[in-house]
Copies of this chain bind each other. A is one copy, B any other.
């Protein structure tokens, strides 16, 4: 195996594949990067127990300027190889693998020889045989992931809640996540999905990694789903993730259908107020802030009290306030995560009772995105 390539372009591909490679795995060969050189392309593969990423560098890619002298395959230590590639002196580098899987990496007057492994020992990627061709714009998928992943549980005690539940039917994708204290649900249209019906749970961490790979140039992302894997195709790069097994809780019944009180805020302004109040609540044991809503006085007051440290009080700006009087306490960190997911939007918060979950939706599009937060009992 022997080829030369432009380093800057190679590094870009390498960075993508490295997202799947962990140095902490117990399977030695998975700390490696697999390189497979055919007569017209170089394929890079990285994998861990959850995700696998494969990217193809074609000889037609002018930026990469891949020049193939001899086909072959090898597995090289990923972190160390990547550090070397990034430090080489010239724009071009040449890699040659001998019969003992040793790689000689040359660039200018610098020459590294490092030990590799037989690529035949590298595990095979899953095969996905999907009849449906689902596509979604990259920026929308990135948004859906960032909006729902915040409500994914970090606790392994209920593994199913560490995933995002995706339901595809009627040409729509519904994504929902909950850690049992809060919930986030987003619905989008999905092209090519008129007849497709899927119900899967994808690990939140996998989707976070996928999200980081989606760049502005990824116009459309193709999604394929099989029994225990999902595949996302971004241009020349394939992103595989395992699915979580089990049944996701019925979240539909958690979202209140009616409300007693509604208030409209600007998401950014409210976020800043909550951030201030949380400075104080973080100093105490309970991490709780209180909202006192008084429609007859047309006032909303945010407050916090941590006796050892001090207290905070702020009268909030709001747009519309309707309903009855209410005092409600909640974890400000959940509120911060939720508010950040709305960007600059105007939002509507709808309450029922002091100890019942409340919802946050965009004022202009109440049906397709909802964040739900369970209050905290403070008495």
Contacts and interface: CB of A to CB of B under 8 A. Distances in A.
A236 interface: no
A267 B46 CA distance: 37
Contact of A111 (B88, B111, B309, B314): B314
Contact of A87 (B114, B272, B316): B272
Contacts of A84: 276, 279
A89 interface: yes
A306 to B, nearest CB: 9
B279 A88 contact: no
Contacts of A80: 279, 283, 309
B110 A310 contact: no
Contact of A310 (B115, B276, B310): B115
Contacts of A296: none
Interface string A109-134: 11111110000000000000000000
A92 interface: no
A102 B310 contact: yes
Contact of A109 (B77, B109, B315): B315
Contacts of A275: 87
Nearest to A312: B112
A39 to B, nearest CB: 28
B314 A279 contact: no
A18 to B, nearest CB: 16
A289 to B, nearest CB: 13
A96 to B, nearest CB: 13
A311 B112 contact: yes
B310 A114 contact: yes
A83 interface: yes
A279 B110 contact: no
Interface string A310-329: 11111111000000000000
Nearest to A269: B89
A238 interface: no
A80 B306 CA distance: 13
A280 interface: yes
Contacts of A279: 80, 83-84, 87
A110 B314 contact: yes
Contacts of A314: 109-111
A273 interface: yes
B312 A110 contact: yes
Q: Which 4 A-B pairs have the closest CB atoms?
A: A114-B310, A110-B314, A109-B315, A87-B276
